């Protein structure tokens, strides 16, 4: 129960008399200090309990709201949108930001005025272009009747072993082909060390849609396009690679462990039942045979033959016997054997084209649920930590 008269009355009764007796000696002063400390501790304890109750209620409300929002977002999984960013404007912003520190106020003011007028004219031109594009799609305007400035559409593909980015690439290509006009161009920034044959075969087929539509396609490789990555790159009408980009690896590899002897050592039997002589050639748990190995090698050779035919079809200028050894080459060496057409970074290539065309960065962005975003964030954090420690471990081994 609270003391009579409240906390203030209790303080007056208990603490003030002790204040009057301070002259009496050290004991009286100590008693006053002790009672004051108890009072403050009691107040802080009560305040802490109150704050904990309020915090509990707020957290509970946030959990409920978050759960409801998550359920709503989950129903939108699979949806997405195409995001378009004009690279010309991005470069102009960078230039203007630097000029702010280089030009005097009057020059800056004149340039800003000129810039706004130019942007206004470009917005009007884009509106006219969009209107003409809608008419063209409706069949009311011939493509030749649109005299607007040509466009360069920039796509990006960052490949993993399963070529997981193919789905987004497919949608981006569909969007671009719906509006592309004669004179337009597509550039794909391609980074991939390769992966599954069927996955990269599909990714290459998606790029081939651009070529079949008679839209020039340029593949820019800044780091690596090997194996399946080069399968995609060779579809392009032109390949541009950075000086130390890794290209090639026109070959096929397969590997798997076999623990049959380990299981046999511990008296563990593994039964594999198949219908068809070559339904299963090599296995992880069963006993592999020479016949199975030979058949598996034949399948690898057949896949390699298809790979070589694919490269020869799209880049007939290469000596396929020379480059189909599974080796890789850096950009400058790749130019010598015609794996690429030009040595340059993607940035250099795009900047050269900025004065000639409108460059649009096109990306398909998926809507992800709260759980997916949380999981992706946690995975990326673990990846960064793992790479950081790996770099520290290996930095003394790999030096240039």
Active centre residues (catalytic): 227, 279
Q: Are strands 358-366 and 328-330 parallel, antiparallel or unpaired?
A: unpaired
For residue 303, give every residue at least 6 positions away whose Cβ sits within 8 Å of its Cβ, in sequence order, or none.
Answer: 197, 252
From 360, 381, 377, 361, select the one nearest 369 (Cα to Cα): 377
From 93, 122, 83, select the one nearest 357 (Cα to Cα): 122
Phi first, then psi: give them for residue 193, nearest 5 degrees.
-90, 0
For residue 324, give every residue at least 6 positions away whose Cβ sits within 8 Å of its Cβ, in sequence order, or none.
Answer: 250, 251, 304, 307, 308, 311
Alpha-carbon torsion 18, 24, 28, 29, what sign? positive
Q: What span, in angstroms and rounded, lies between the C-alpha atoms of 273 and 283?
A: 12
Q: What span, in angstroms and rounded, lies between the C-alpha atoms of 373 and 377?
A: 6
Pair 227, 257: CB distance under 8 Å: no
DSSP state letter for 298: H
For residue 343, give every residue at least 6 positions away whose Cβ sits within 8 Å of its Cβ, in sequence order, or none.
Answer: 240, 241, 242, 243, 331, 332, 335
What torsion do the CA atoms of 348, 353, 358, 362 make, to the nearest 10 degrees? Answer: -40
For residue 259, give every residue at least 6 positions away whose Cβ sits within 8 Å of its Cβ, in sequence order, or none.
Answer: 284, 285
Pair 197, 224: CB distance under 8 Å: no
Give Cα separations from 150 to 37, 206, 391 (angstroms). Answer: 79, 23, 44
Pair 277, 200: CB distance under 8 Å: no
Tokens of 62: 């946030």
Q: Helix or strand or coil: residue 279? A: coil
């Amino acid at each position: 129960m609270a003391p009579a008269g409240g906390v203030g009355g209790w303080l007056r009764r208990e603490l003030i008399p002790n204040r009057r007796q301070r002259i009496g000696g050290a004991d009286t002063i100590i008693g006053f200090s002790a009672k004051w400390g108890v009072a403050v501790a009691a107040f802080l304890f009560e305040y802490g309990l109150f704050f904990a109750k309020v915090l509990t209620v707020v957290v509970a409300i946030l959990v409920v709201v978050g759960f409801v929002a998550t359920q709503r977002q989950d129903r939108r999984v699979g949806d997405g949108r195409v995001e378009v960013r004009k690279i010309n404007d991005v470069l102009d912003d960078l230039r203007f930001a630097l000029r702010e520190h280089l030009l005097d106020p009057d020059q800056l003011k004149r340039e800003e005025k000129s810039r706004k007028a130019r942007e206004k004219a470009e917005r009007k031109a884009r509106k006219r272009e969009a209107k003409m594009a809608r008419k063209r799609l409706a069949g009311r305007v011939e493509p030749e009747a649109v005299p607007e400035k040509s466009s360069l559409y920039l796509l990006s593909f960052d490949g993993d072993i399963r070529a997981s980015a193919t789905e987004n690439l497919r949608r981006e290509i569909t969007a671009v082909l719906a509006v592309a006009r004669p004179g337009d161009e597509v550039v794909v920034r391609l980074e991939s060390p390769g992966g599954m044959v069927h996955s990269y075969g599909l990714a290459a087929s998606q790029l081939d849609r651009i070529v079949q539509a008679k839209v020039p396609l340029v593949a820019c490789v800044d780091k690596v396009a090997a194996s399946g990555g080069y399968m995609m790159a060779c579809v392009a009408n032109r390949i541009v690679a950075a000086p130390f980009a890794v290209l090639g690896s026109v070959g096929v590899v397969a590997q798997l462990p076999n623990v049959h002897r380990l299981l046999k050592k511990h008296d563990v039997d593994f039964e594999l039942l198949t219908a068809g002589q070559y339904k299963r050639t090599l296995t992880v748990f069963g006993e592999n045979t020479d016949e199975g190995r030979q058949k598996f090698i034949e399948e690898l050779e057949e896949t390699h033959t298809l790979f070589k035919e694919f490269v020869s079809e799209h880049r007939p200028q290469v000596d396929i016997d020379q480059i189909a050894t599974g080796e890789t080459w850096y950009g400058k060496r790749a130019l010598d054997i015609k794996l690429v057409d030009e040595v340059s970074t993607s940035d250099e290539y795009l900047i050269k084209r900025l004065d000639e065309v409108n460059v649009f960065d096109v990306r398909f962005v998926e809507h992800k649920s709260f759980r997916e975003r949380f999981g992706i964030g946690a995975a990326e954090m673990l990846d960064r930590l793992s790479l950081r420690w790996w770099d520290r471990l290996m930095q003394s081994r790999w030096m240039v």
